[in-house]
Structure 1
């Protein structure tokens, strides 16, 4: 799989596990225009290809990410509030940013995030679109947007209420307070907390390795069903479950999985089909 040279990230795939690393610690891994373009491109490539069966996102430096780069609001992206036409354009601009993080949610493979230090503003938007979140004991989450006079607008207020109690979301969103990692774990936002960034990343990579050993199409189906069930009634979700299972059922995959367990080896399963543009 060919990916262009990146300036905001490091990217690699090893043993079917993709690893995307935020790599601008000197700028606290803030999210400027290049960040969005590069992330969108990497996720599109991963989605269309079949080399990776899980994605781990980690970071460098003291903080996971301080969110949107402030220079974005100083001219890198022009937000015109002087006319209804300009304000309408803000809506469409936001739709593009939202779509990039939605790619994490709709990616054909699971996404695991290893978070250290601050996960602030846009970074909360980002990690709430992932499947699994691990954090260091010094990590914290902050809906920073309210502190700079705006509403969080790229996914936090839509996804966080699906993950933690609504009253917690309101407290964080109204006050801009920090949510420490231990509390985030207690609320269910974080799966586990680790002493060091190295231990946190190792756990994320181990989880990804375990996922990569399963039949990719069954993992794909599981992700589809979980997300559909989150947003639909039980009856609708059960019906969708039947459609998905009927579409991807494989006696051969089940036999191979059972045989691999008995023989104490990893199963051998085909990758997802590559996607081709028209």
Structure 2
């Protein structure tokens, strides 16, 4: 569908987005970000996707932002005047929004990581709901090694995924976090021996999620995201309002009957999101 990744929706309820520039270590140029955002938001709007898997090809998941992005004379990177800095802020917020689209999707997003997950790739992975890795995976806040602070969400999301002191150490030193320690810290949910086993495992988890009520899954993600960013009292209040909106006894009856019969339920997809 583009030069950066392919999208497979052949399996009902399951979407699989795969980075496909292994010869360039799946680096991300500026055009990658809106392409990713638009695909994720289109899936969100359509309502039929119940889980999205993001994986990659080649030795490494992704080496992050292509370094030649910073070498050019791109007006987006200019900060030499007040007007330029104001424009820079808007441009950066739009880049941030491309990964926020993953966080805001109505479905869980699962990330399968082999080899290096470096720089902007870690920003992407941190925005996903679940992360899984191969035994050779490693994670790196690469931005500090090229003289900049990471700015696409990893500094905000990583301390909520692993102990804050470890997140700060990674952000300040640019050192690699290996797969075994990533598992022990809870950054990844499981380690698999190689890329093939990794993808098979992640697709299996995604299928389990896709078999559940999409209404209940979407509500669960909304509740947990709100609780992550708010206090307990505010989150409980939010849950009461949210549950009143999504509580559906017909959906529950369908799920209970299927569970009792040990069969898969046939849930209706979420409604499409309308556009004015």
**TM bracket (short chain):** over 0.9
Alignment of 1:59 with 2:56, yes or no, is yes
Counterpart CA distance in 1 for 2:88 and 2:55 is: 30
Deviates more, 1:103-112 or 1:79-88: 79-88
Aligned residues: 274
Tell me the TM-score normalized by structure 1: 0.96
> In the alignment, which residue of structure 2 is the partner of 1:7?
3
Q: Work out which of the residue numbers 157, 170, 190 in structure 1 matches 2:188.
A: 190
Question: How far is the alpha carbon of 1:76 from its aligned partner?
Answer: 6.8
Alignment of 1:124 with 2:128, yes or no, is no
> In the alignment, which residue of structure 2 is the partner of 1:83?
81
Counterpart CA distance in 1 for 2:39 and 2:228 is: 26
Counterpart CA distance in 2 for 1:76 and 1:223 is: 41
Deviations 1:54-103 (A, max 9, x none): 00000000100000011111227431132122122221111011000000
Q: Work out which of the residue numbers 70, 73, 96 in structure 1 matches 2:70.
A: 73
Q: Work out which of the residue numbers 152, 157, 163 in structure 1 matches 2:161.
A: 163
Deviations 1:105-144 (A, max 9, x none): 0001100000000000000100000000000010000000
2:132 alignment partner, SS class: strand
RMSD: 1.0
2:53 alignment partner, SS class: strand
1:11 alignment partner, SS class: strand
Counterpart CA distance in 2 for 1:161 and 1:50 is: 31
Deviations 1:151-180 (A, max 9, x none): 000000000011111110111001000000
Question: How far is the alpha carbon of 1:220 from its aligned partner?
Answer: 0.5
Q: Work out which of the residue numbers 21, 24, 29 in structure 2 matches 1:27.
A: 24
Counterpart CA distance in 2 for 1:123 and 1:98 is: 13
Counterpart CA distance in 1 for 2:37 and 2:245 is: 29
Given that 2:214 and 2:269 are in contact with CA atoms closer than 8 Å, whether structure 1 keeps it comes out as: yes
> In the alignment, which residue of structure 2 is the partner of 1:247?
245
Given that 1:33 and 1:76 are in contact with CA atoms closer than 8 Å, whether structure 2 keeps it comes out as: no
Counterpart CA distance in 2 for 1:236 and 1:40 is: 29
Tell me the TM-score normalized by structure 2: 0.97
Given that 2:34 and 2:95 are in contact with CA atoms closer than 8 Å, whether structure 1 keeps it comes out as: no
The alpha-carbon distance between structure 1 residues 31 and 77, as it changes in their structure 2 partners (threshold 3 A), is farther
Q: Work out which of the residue numbers 35, 41, 46 in structure 1 matches 2:43.
A: 46
Q: Which runs of 5+ in 2 are unaligned?
A: none
Q: Which runs of 4+ in 1 moved over 6 A?
A: none
Counterpart CA distance in 2 for 1:77 and 1:128 is: 27
> In the alignment, which residue of structure 1 is the partner of 2:219?
221
